[in-house]
Amino acid sequence: MAPSLYRPVRIGKLNLPGNLLLAPLAGFTDRAFRGIAVEWGADLTYTEMISCEALYRDNAKTLPMMERDPREERFAIQVFTGTEEAAEKSVERILSYNPSLIDLNCGCPVPKIIKSGAGSALMKTPDKIASLVKILGEGHDVPVTVKIRTGWDYNSLNYREAAEAAVNAGAAAVTIHGRTRSQGYGGKADWAPLKELSELLPVPVFGSGDLFTPDDARRMLEETGCAGVMFARGAIGNPFIFKQTRHLLERAEEMEPIEMKEKLNTALAQYTRSLSYLDELRASKEIRKHLCAYTKGIPNSSALRNDLVHAESREEMERLISDFLSNFQ
């Protein structure tokens, strides 16, 4: 029998029970959502990207982004920086939040980030990736990893050079998003570089790009031989994808679809969880974009969506959802 495509992965000293990862997603992978993703089967979760500069300056908004949900037995803190100085000054602070691994962002295409030499700007300077990995990994044994793109643009597809520089500097795993910086999030992700790096590198290689269904994940694992898959947009409002993918990989059949009631209750559970660290108004604002994603595709849900994004309390959220469900039945 062929070995299961759902399998453990070792990243330095970190053992993952399986190979289904929740990507870092700025604006989305907050503590509440990460906890929900773990409940639905994510084997590793990543914080939103966090500025090293903000960290050593003790930015009050940034520090809570590194707090883990009680369900997150393992979690990765992803950081971005364009300078060795900021990396060095922030390591102690990062470690004080006890991450299972530290990931360096080498893929963010946002102009403001690139201007500071961080994110995908690093794809232009593999040497700097190497020095940042070294600095972030000095003096402790928490694995350091990198998340790269295929290159800055089509004329500079240097993923191989960037990945090798990172690994030679001590990176314990590499994730590659199969797009260039100039592609942003458009076009189709190219999985060929993922296959190439999976064959080439002595460390686990994870794949990112166009994973919207469990079958996309199966195809990526099968076609590229990568160690694991990282769900990004496909997991927004859809943490169920982890359980569904594991089911598909282990049993070669699709799981029963998730019922509407379960979807809405999961959204509510995520909101409730955020109330343990945010006030009601802030939590209500944070959950809006998630609610839009959770309710997408539910028949006749546009009025519900409209009401939910204006709700400002738990009581209101619960009432809207239970009214919608009872009208439906």
Task: Please tell me whether residue 183 binds ligand FMN under the rule CB under 6 A.
Answer: no
DSSP letters spanning 281-328: HHHHHHHHHHHHHHHTTSTT-HHHHHHHTT--SHHHHHHHHHHHHHHH
Candidate segments 93-101, 166-174, 227-235, 292-300, binder of ligand FMN by CB under 6 A: 227-235
Span interacting with ligand FMN, options 152-160, 206-214, 269-277, 317-325, rule CB under 6 A: 206-214
What count of other Cβ atoms lies within 10 Å of the Cβ of residue 2? 6
Neighbours of 39 (CB within 10 A): 17
Written as six digits, the tokens of 275 are: 């109330």
Torsion of CA 319, 322, 328, 329, to 10 degrees: -140
Q: Say how many C-beta atoms besides its own lie within 10 A of residue 280's C-beta.
A: 17
Return d(Cα 302, Cα 296) in angstroms, integer.
8
Sort 259 into a burial class: Cβ within 10 Å, 0-12 / 13-18 / 19+.
exposed
Stretch of residues binding ligand FMN (CB under 6 A), selected from 208-216, 267-275, 299-307, 319-327: 208-216
Number of residues that bind ligand FMN (CB under 6 A): 23
Question: At its nearest, how many Å lie between ligand FMN and the CB of residue 207?
Answer: 9
Can you tell me which of 99, 234, 237, 239 binds ligand FMN, judged by CB under 6 A? 234
| Structural Rg of the chain based on CA atoms | 20
Q: Does 208 sit near ligand FMN (CB under 6 A)?
A: yes
Q: How many CB atoms lie within 10 A of CB 256?
A: 7
Told to check if 90 binds ligand FMN by CB under 6 A, we report: no
304/76 Cα distance (integer angstroms): 34
Say which of 52, 108, 226, 292 is annotated catalytic: 108
> Which of the ranges 101-109, 259-267, 271-279, 283-291 carries the binding residues for ligand FMN, by CB under 6 A?
101-109
CA–CA dist 221, 66 (Å, integer): 30
Q: Which of 31, 74, 93, 147 binds ligand FMN (CB under 6 A)?
A: 147
The answer to whether residue 233 forms part of the interface with ligand FMN (CB under 6 A) is: yes
CB of 48 to ligand FMN, least distance (A): 5
Nearest one of 185, 303, 174, 270 to 230, comparing CA atoms: 174
Q: How far apart are CA 298 and CA 262, in angstroms?
A: 12
Please say which residue, 113 or 321, places its beta carbon nearer to ligand FMN: 113
Which neighbouring-strand residues pair with 154?
Answer: none
Q: Among 85, 98, 140, 185, which residue sits at the site for ligand FMN (rule: CB under 6 A)?
A: 185
Nearer to ligand FMN, 218 or 233 (CB): 233
209 touching ligand FMN, by CB under 6 A: yes
Does position 113 bind ligand FMN by CB under 6 A? no
Active site residue 226: no
| x-marked contacts with ligand FMN along 15-34 as a string, rule CB under 6 A | --------xxxxxx------
- Of 107 and 126, CB closest to ligand FMN: 107
Q: Which of 51, 78, 198, 270 binds ligand FMN (CB under 6 A)?
A: 78
Figure out which of the listed residues 79, 210, 240, 291 binds ligand FMN, where binding follows CB under 6 A.
210
Q: How far is the CB of 315 from ligand FMN (least distance, A)?
A: 30
Shortest Å, Cβ 231 to ligand FMN: 6
Q: Among candidates 230, 223, 221, which has minimal Cα distance to 6? A: 221
Q: Provide the angle, in degrees to the nearest 10, between the axes of the packed helices 159-168 and 192-200.
A: 30
Choose among 50, 112, 106, 107: nearest CA to 75.
50
Cβ 265 to ligand FMN shortest distance, Å? 24
Contact residues for ligand FMN (CB under 6 A)?
Answer: 23-28, 48-49, 78, 105, 107-108, 147, 177, 185, 189, 208-211, 232-234
Residues classed as catalytic: 108
